[in-house]
Structures are given as C-alpha cells and as structure tokens.
Amino acid sequence: MGSRYSNYLSENICDKSDICIVDNNQEVLERLNERGFICFNSLSQLSKKHNFDYGIVANWGPDHLSTADKLIKLGCRRLIIEKPISNSLEELIEFRNKHESKDLFVTVHHFFKYTNFLEAFRKAEKKYNFGEPVGIRLSGGAVCLSTSGTHYLDLACEILNSEPINVSADLEIDYINPRDKSLAYVGGMASYKMKNDLFIHVSFFNRSSHSIRIEVIYRHGVIEIDVRDDKFIFYKRAPQDIEKFGNIITRHGKNIFIGEEDFEFYDTVQYVVDNLMFGEKPIVSLSTAERTLRMILGAIQSNQERSKIDLQKVKDTGLRIS
C-alpha cells in the first residue's frame, strides 16, 4: 500500500507490528522491513490466521478490484480502494453484485470528497451572488483524464449538482508514466453533456507540464479555482453591461476581476483512513466511483469509435489506466 497510508497508520492509529504491507518490489520491502513493518511480496503468502480487519488497496488501477476481492476472502470487512476504482466497468459491476449484499464497508479515495472544499466553494459562490453554474472547463498539461482527472471529474459533477449523459472525445493516448509504461496516460479533449443542459469540457495536453486550471462558468461570470495557490478568483460582467443587455446572451462586454479568497487544501490520507477505521458509511461509494469510471471509459470509447457515447452504454476497451 502507499507509503503515506503506512506512515499515517503507524504514527497515529496502530503499531507497525499490526500492519502487513504487500509489495512486489523487493527493494521497497527491504526498506520497510528495516523500519519495522511486516512485509510480504504476494497476497498468496497471507491467510485468515493473520486475522485481517482492514485493507487498503493502493496498487495499479487494473489490479484494484482483484486485490480487493482477495482481501475480502482473507477476512477484511472494511476497505479503502484508490482511484480509479478499476479500468473495467464490467469488472466493477461484477464486484459490486458479488459483494453488495454482504456486510462490507468499501470507500474510494476521491480526495475532494474528504475535504470541506465544496462547502467553501458554495459559501464563496453565494457571497458574490453568482447564481447557478452552467458548466465547467478543465484544462492543463499532462494531468491525465484518469490519474488526476478522476478527482476533478468527480468534483465537477458535485459543483454542477448534475449527472453526465454522454461524451464526445478526441484523445491522445501516450505511455509516459515513469513507473509503469504499460499504463495509458490520457490527454486530449472530452466534452460531456450533463443533465439540465449543463456541460463539462476537458482539455489536457500530454506534451505540457501546465498544472490543471478549473473554470466554473456562470451566466454573468466565472470563478477560477487555483488548486496550486489555494485560491478562488472571481470575475463578473460589468454592471453596466448587464443593465444594457438585460437577459440577452451576448458576446459584448467583459468580465471584471472582483476579488479572490483563499481556501484550505490539504492531504486527505488522514481523513480517508479515519473514514475507514471509524466511519459509519463510506464517504465515496462504489456507485459514485462508477459514475467517474463511466466518464473516463466513455471518453476512451468515443475516441476509438469516433462517435458520441451514451454513458449508460459504455463498453470496456481493455486500455490499462491508473
């Protein structure tokens, strides 16, 4: 599992002797052994006699659900699964159907859900009287529609308070992940039509290191979300332009900077672990994770088929994403 999880657990929740770490990298295991963790290089080395209660799945996306399934068989009843939940919609549905009737707790690490970010955003939105958003633009360099995009697609759906209907995409698929060249890095453009005639437009470029830029679009303004400097930046049409054109939608006039506010953006490992250990219900359910997976796989399918894809009819493409 990820080092941030093991560090937080050993420093705040339990002894290192209570934590079993499975990793297929021998050098990593040797370092962890030196620090006092119990380590294995395969789940096959574990058995129910180890008496596992909790599991954290933080390997590559294509292996998440098969790993979770093995942990459940070993006795784990409460799990964190990292994003993306899988690279296969069929696998996710099979996993959910197999386990949803059991007394299991499974939460997925979509990090915005474990913060008060949406609450802070709504407060700022109301303070400056923006009204309801009509859409969101996500742009940046090598962000990857799956690797980081999972978090931002989920956030966009929450800000819009809407569900995705279909997607049209023209993607660039590269293999630039330095830790595993078999994993696709998904750039390019994807346009999502949302319920209530809203939209999410995505533009990522794999040959740029530009950090993500988020723009929430309103009838008379824009809120930019700067996740690097932890700021909301507010622009609205000049009052005289609104008065001049009334309710007419027009290209005339300009957006005026009206202010900015800071928000707190912090590491969410503590909060997702606390949800695992003490939460009554998962903060991010399998159904929420499925929505975002459909958005990613639908874009990949759209790119392959060169057509608009109904997100309720998504097909697996076999592309390895993480």
Find tokens 């962890």 and name the residue. 32
Domain boundaries, the chain: 3-111+269-284, 114-262
Is 3-111+269-284 a CATH 3.40.50.720 domain?
yes
pLDDT of res. 3: 83
DSSP symbol at 197: G
114-262 CATH pick, 3.40.50.150, 3.30.360.10, 3.30.70.260, 1.20.1630.10: 3.30.360.10
Q: Give the tens place of pLDDT for each residue, 77-127.
A: 999 999 999 999 999 999 999 987 778 999 999 999 999 999 999 999 999
Does residue 178 have a cis peptide bond before it, meaning omega lies within 30 degrees of 0? Answer: no
Q: Is 37 left (phi over 0), alpha (psi -120 to 50) or beta?
A: beta
User: What does the alpha-carbon distance between residue 154 and residue 164 come to, in Å, rounded to a whole number?
Assistant: 10
User: What does the alpha-carbon distance between residue 203 and residue 156 come to, in Å, rounded to a whole number?
Assistant: 14
Q: What backbone phi and psi angles, to 5 degrees, belong to 193? A: -90, 130
Q: By C-alpha distance, which of 50, 49, 54, 37 is closest to 3?
A: 37
> Is the CA virtual torsion 28, 30, 32, 37 positive or negative?
positive
User: What does the alpha-carbon distance between residue 19 and residue 40 come to, in Å, rounded to a whole number?
Assistant: 11
Q: Which token pair is 239?
A: 């009052």
Query: Would you call 141 exposed, middle or buried from its count of C-beta atoms within 10 A (0-12, 13-18, 19+)?
Result: middle
User: What does the alpha-carbon distance between residue 242 and residue 250 come to, in Å, rounded to a whole number?
Assistant: 10
Residues of the chain with pLDDT under 70: 1
pLDDT of res. 14: 92
Beta bridge partner(s), residue 233: 224, 260
pLDDT of res. 218: 96
Q: What backbone phi and psi angles, to 5 degrees, belong to 51? A: 60, 60
Beta bridge partner(s), residue 169: 190
Q: What is the dihedral of CA 113, 70, 44, 182, to 10 degrees?
A: -60
Q: Give the tens place of pLDDT for each residue, 280-300.
A: 999 999 999 999 999 999 999
**pTM for the full predicted model:** 0.95
pLDDT of res. 1: 47
